[in-house]
Amino acid sequence: MIELRDVHKTLGGRPILKGMSFQVPTGTTYVLMGRSGIGKSVTLKHLVGILKPDRGEVLVDGVNVPSLDSEGLKDLRRKMGYLFQNGALINWLTVAQNVSLPLEEHSRLPRAEIRERVMRTLHLVGMDHAADLFPSKISGGMRLRAGLARAIVTEPRYVLYDEPNAGLDPIIADQIHRLIVEVRDRLGVTGLVVTHSRACAFTVANRIGVIDEGRIAEEGTVPEMRASTSPLVRAFLGGGSD
Amino acid sequence: MTPIHAAAEFTHRNLLGAGFTVRLLLRTLGRVHYLPRRMRFTLDQCFAAGVRALPVTLCVATVAGMILALQTGIELRRFGQQSIIGSVTALSMCREMGPFITSVILAATVGSAMAAELGTMNVSDEVTAIEVMSVDPVDYLVLPRVVGLTVMCPLLTIFSNMVGIFGGSLIGASNLGVSTQFYWRSVQESLMTPEHLLPKDVYTGIVKAVIFGLAVSVVSCSAGLRAEGGALGVGLAVQTAVKNSVILIIVLGLITTWFFYYLQIT
């Protein structure tokens, strides 16, 4: 389970998180929504130990992430996958090499088995045809799908998705949403998704939290949030364009 | 912001940068045991450094040797001493000019590229992605680049020395009336000593080149890893890398010369 308890964080003299608290039970997907620059990605970075809170607790499986030493952080990160906004693929490696990187670094699997696992994961995200292409030769949507393959190839228990549909057309975005659901249902992954997209939230979420003033202002299941009359919730999840 | 505040902020920023660079150097040295695992990428870096810098290094070093011979030769001729031009050119190239020219060119070509590559990776979250995969960016990204440049700088310096001395021989023969045969005998006598396999003037230059290569690579990687704020930040990182590298080359050149020739360390 992922849990944040009263997390505070100031960056560049500006308070970003002001008492952020929420829980993501094992095997469920939690969607974080909120205005740009309000601290959604900052929240994700606390979970992998890239940022440390000024105050509060960031718990993964009951372990307080900021208290981990470098070895503890390595162990934690091996249990996690992270999908970055633009995929963050390493540009001098092919798609397959990018996806195989975490396996080559941390597993003792034979090369053939790594290749087989990489191709299986690329097939899952519909990218097996582009395995030998470099990131500069593929589209933004393909980069995201390759990034997702890299995030799940180690079969992590947790996957963090940072704007998994940013800049994608609705068809590709829908494919990504279905993949997130598939990853949760097939692999039992616990997910935390940062997004602005209603379609994404309604498709992938078990619970949705809307951030305001550096903390979760409104929270609930998809039906609860759909029925909410809160102006903040309506602003993010109400009618209008996605 | 008052001038005092601006000066304080400037100093603070530079001290933080220097601290980051020193820490990066120590962390890189502490991860040398990962080198066999990164060998392929290290060899790629060696090849890239050689390919990028060799042509321009050879051209510049040849011309530098010619200028050196010409400027010194004109003065020596006034005293009828132009016959020692081979010795003067060889010693100047091996002790100072060879390592200096080579490392400045490496800073401008390879160091700037390193800062741009790592800077772009940093602003596009690739470095964070590597970290999140539990891969240490120091041993994955920095170590191969540092080793590559630290190995290539002395190798290129040897080429620089050779072509610089050759450039001097062209000027000796064409402008100073020193025959090629006599010039090369003078070079040989000044550099070769029967009691040493590798003469001091040659090895001090090579040691300097190793130090310069290490400094340029660490400074460039540090600038790249501290880049923030998109394309502008990457541009500033490249500028910082080249500026700091050249300053360090000059300062470290002085220190190593003082160490080897003033303290007479052999």
Question: pLDDT by residue (tens digit) across B117-138?
Answer: 999 999 999 999 999 999 999 9
Residue B166 or residue B264, greater confidence: B166
Chain B contact present for A107, CB below 8 A: no
Give how far B133 is from chain A: nearest CA, Å: 6
Give how far A178 is from chain B: nearest CA, Å: 23
Residues of B in contact with A45 (CB under 8 A): 128
Q: Beta A55-60 vs A215-221: how paired, if at all?
A: unpaired
pLDDT band at A168 (very low <50, low <70, confident <90, very high): confident
Q: Is the ipTM of this complex over 0.90?
A: no
Both tokens assigned to A167: 């800049």
Give how far A232 is from chain B: nearest CA, Å: 30
Q: What is the mean pLDDT of chain A?
A: 91
pLDDT of B215 over the 90 cut: yes
DSSP string, B234-249: HHHHHHHHHHHHHHHH
Q: What is the mean pLDDT of chain B?
A: 92
pLDDT of B197 over the 80 cut: no
Q: Which domains does chain A have, with CATH numbers?
A: 1-79+158-242 (3.40.50.300), 89-155 (no CATH)
Residues A159 and A163: their CA atoms lie apart, in Å, by 13
Chain A contact present for B75, CB below 8 A: no
Residues A217 and A19: their CA atoms lie apart, in Å, by 11
pLDDT of A239 over the 80 cut: no
Question: pLDDT by residue (tens digit) across B24-53?
Answer: 999 999 999 999 999 999 999 999 888 889
Question: pLDDT by residue (tens digit) across A12-61?
Answer: 889 999 999 999 999 999 999 998 888 999 999 999 999 999 999 999 99
Cβ atoms of B134 and A78 within 8 Å: the answer is yes
When scoring A11, A45, A48, A71 by the number of chain B Cβ atoms within 10 A, the one with the most, hence best to mutate, is A48
Residues of A in contact with B138 (CB under 8 A): none
Distance of CA B36 to the CA centre of its chain: 24
Residues A166 and A177: their CA atoms lie apart, in Å, by 12
Neighbours of B265 (CB within 10 A): 11
What are the DSSP E strand ranges found in chain A? 2-11, 14-24, 29-33, 55-60, 63-64, 80-83, 158-162, 190-194, 207-212, 215-221
Cβ contact (<8 Å) for B129 and A82? yes
Residues of B in contact with A105 (CB under 8 A): 133-135
Residues B167 and A159: their CA atoms lie apart, in Å, by 62
Both tokens assigned to A117: 């696992």
Q: Which of B126, B132, B134 has its CB closest to that of A106? A: B134
Q: Beta A158-162 vs A14-24: how paired, if at all?
A: unpaired
Cβ atoms of B178 and B82 within 8 Å: the answer is yes
Residues A74-96, mean pLDDT to the nearest whole number? 92
Write the DSSP symbol of residue A13.
Answer: T
Tell me if residue A89 falls in helix, strand or coil: coil
Q: In what order do the strands lie in the sheet with A14-24?
A: A14-24, A2-11, A55-60, A63-64
Cβ atoms of A98 and A148 within 8 Å: the answer is no
pLDDT band at A242 (very low <50, low <70, confident <90, very high): low
Least confident among B71-80, B109-118, B248-257? B71-80
Q: How would you classify residue A12: left for phi > 0, otherwise alpha for psi between -120 and 50, otherwise beta?
A: left
Neighbours of A242 (CB within 10 A): 12
Residues B109 and B61: their CA atoms lie apart, in Å, by 15
How far apart are the two ends of chain B, measured CA to CA in Å?
52
Distance of CA A51 to the CA centre of its chain: 16
- Residues of chain B with pLDDT > 90, as a percent, come to 78
Q: How would you classify residue B3: left for phi > 0, otherwise alpha for psi between -120 and 50, otherwise beta?
A: alpha
Chain B contact present for A50, CB below 8 A: yes
Residues A156-176, mean pLDDT to the nearest whole number? 87
Residues B103 and B216: their CA atoms lie apart, in Å, by 8
Token pair 């996605």 in the structure block, residue:
A242
- Burial zone of A74 (CB within 10 Å; 0-12 exposed, 13-18 middle, 19+ buried): middle
Question: pLDDT by residue (tens digit) across B152-189?
Answer: 999 999 999 999 999 999 999 998 889 999 999 999 88
Residues A9 and A40: their CA atoms lie apart, in Å, by 12
Q: Write down the pTM of the prediction.
A: 0.88
pLDDT of A81 over the 80 cut: yes
Chain B contact present for A241, CB below 8 A: no
Residues A226 and B206: their CA atoms lie apart, in Å, by 71
pLDDT of B244 over the 80 cut: yes
